[in-house]
């Protein structure tokens, strides 16, 4: 444990550094090349993601912010003051701030794979909320969901805003939620924001912003490979593509090779035909029925759901039973 300030106890669970190389080499060796989206989030990637959140086409943060603001008191009553609030993939710790003052948790446990970003976010949060006990945990929440030692005993409530669950396939969501159920124990809570199925043009625009930030975010993965894994991707020869796959109910993000080419990563060579692509992300969209069914299958029962008038996005509070 590493005390960053009086109210911050930083826990480093040391997510494996080697896994990026392994995942990329393995992913590029597959017939359908793919790299898991968690690797978007190096320092620059995390900053680019913050910039995506500011794009007018990317409606998720605004709609979710309005919901959390409008219903903060009701949500806080359901969660109960004194709870331990745990946030996997906490990023900038922006959204939790909409709840902190009404919720008054006994502790906040932000979890993120991006170590420096996590530390900075926790320090910033601590300055704004000096009364708050913060236990940042550096880990890869797709691999491990460990709680730091020394957290208080209150009701454990997991907070997953921003539709982060959208990156998992439905069976993985169920598995992940079962893990959360084990973490919170019976009586624990889950506050989760989930993006909904909707008009395809709205979805497609959200992942193809006119400022090109989504494209930069996607392509930054190649920059990261180049700098960390001795890669030689030419970024002018790959294009960002994102579209809604209606049959699968998800946005797919690809990096498309615009010509025949060979790329080297960590001394290994990979061929690309023209139009061949690396599949870099899925972002699943759920109707309330679909999501509640998944949550039920993981041992959660719905307490309350909140949605905007346009049915763009939903926030659910569920209890582990």
User: Which residues of this protein are in contact with ligand AVJ, per CB under 6 A?
Assistant: 52, 162-164, 166-167, 207, 214, 281, 283
Q: How far is the CB of 267 from ligand AVJ (least distance, A)?
A: 30
Q: Of 83 and 283, which has the nearer Cβ to ligand AVJ?
A: 283
Q: Which is nearer to ligand AVJ, 167 or 298 (CB)?
A: 167
Q: Which helix (H) or strand (E) holds 100?
A: helix 97-103
- If one counts every other C-beta atom within 10 angstroms of the C-beta of residue 158, the result is 25
Tell me the closest approach of the beta carbon of residue 57 to ligand AVJ, in angstroms.
Answer: 10
- What element of type H or E holds 132? none
Contacts of 292 (CB under 8 A, 6+ apart): 302, 305, 316
Half-sphere exposure of 148 (CA within 13 A, CB side): 29
Instruction: Work out how close the CB of 179 gets to ligand AVJ at its nearest, in angstroms, rounded to a whole number.
Output: 18
* Residue 308 vs residues 34, 70, 265: alpha-carbon distances, Å: 34, 10, 45
- In the complex, minimum distance from the CB of residue 125 to ligand AVJ, in angstroms, rounded to a whole number: 19
- Give the residue nearest to ligand AVJ (CB): 283
How many whole angstroms separate alpha carbon 174 and alpha carbon 194? Answer: 14
Q: What's the min distance (Å) between Cβ of 113 and ligand AVJ?
A: 12
Question: By C-beta, is 110 or 166 nearer to ligand AVJ?
Answer: 166
Is the CB of 75 or the CB of 242 nearer to ligand AVJ? 242
Nearest approach in angstroms of CB 45 to ligand AVJ is 10
Rounded CA-CA distance 61/87 in Å is 16
| Calpha distance 227→232 (Å, rounded) | 9
Residue whose CB is less far from ligand AVJ, 90 or 164: 164
Residue 281 or 319 having the CB closest to ligand AVJ: 281
- Three-state DSSP class for residue 32: coil
What values do phi and psi take at 2, rounded to 5?
-140, 115
Distance CA 123, CA 5 (A): 8
């Amino acid at each position: 444990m590493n005390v960053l300030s009086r109210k911050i106890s930083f826990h480093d669970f040391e997510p494996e550094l080697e896994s990026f190389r392994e995942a990329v080499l393995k992913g590029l060796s597959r017939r359908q090349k793919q790299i898991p989206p968690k690797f978007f989030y190096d320092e620059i990637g995390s900053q680019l993601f913050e910039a995506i959140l500011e794009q007018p086409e990317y409606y998720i943060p605004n709609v979710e912010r309005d919901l959390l603001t409008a219903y903060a008191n009701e949500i806080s009553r359901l969660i109960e003051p004194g709870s331990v609030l745990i946030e996997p993939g906490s990023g900038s710790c922006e959204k939790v701030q909409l709840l902190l003052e009404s919720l008054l948790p006994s502790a906040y446990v932000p979890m993120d794979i991006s170590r420096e970003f996590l530390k900075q976010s926790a320090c910033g949060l601590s300055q704004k909320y000096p009364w708050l006990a913060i236990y940042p945990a550096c880990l890869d929440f797709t691999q491990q969901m460990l709680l730091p030692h020394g957290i208080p005993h209150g009701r454990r409530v997991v907070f997953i805003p921003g539709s982060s669950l959208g990156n998992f396939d439905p069976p993985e969501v169920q598995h992940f939620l079962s893990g959360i159920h084990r973490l919170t124990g019976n009586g624990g809570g889950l506050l989760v924001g989930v993006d909904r199925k909707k008009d395809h043009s709205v979805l497609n625009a959200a992942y193809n912003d006119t400022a090109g930030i989504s494209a930069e975010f996607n392509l930054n993965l190649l920059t990261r490979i180049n700098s960390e894994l001795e890669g030689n991707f030419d970024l002018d020869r790959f294009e960002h593509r994102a579209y809604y796959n209606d049959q699968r109910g998800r946005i797919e993000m690809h990096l498309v090779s615009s010509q025949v080419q060979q790329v080297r990563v960590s001394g290994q060579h990979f061929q690309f035909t023209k139009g061949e692509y690396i599949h870099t992300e899925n972002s699943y969209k759920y109707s309330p029925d679909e999501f509640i069914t998944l949550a039920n299958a993981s041992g959660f029962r719905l307490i309350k759901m909140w949605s905007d008038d346009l049915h763009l996005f939903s926030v659910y509070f569920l209890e582990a039973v």
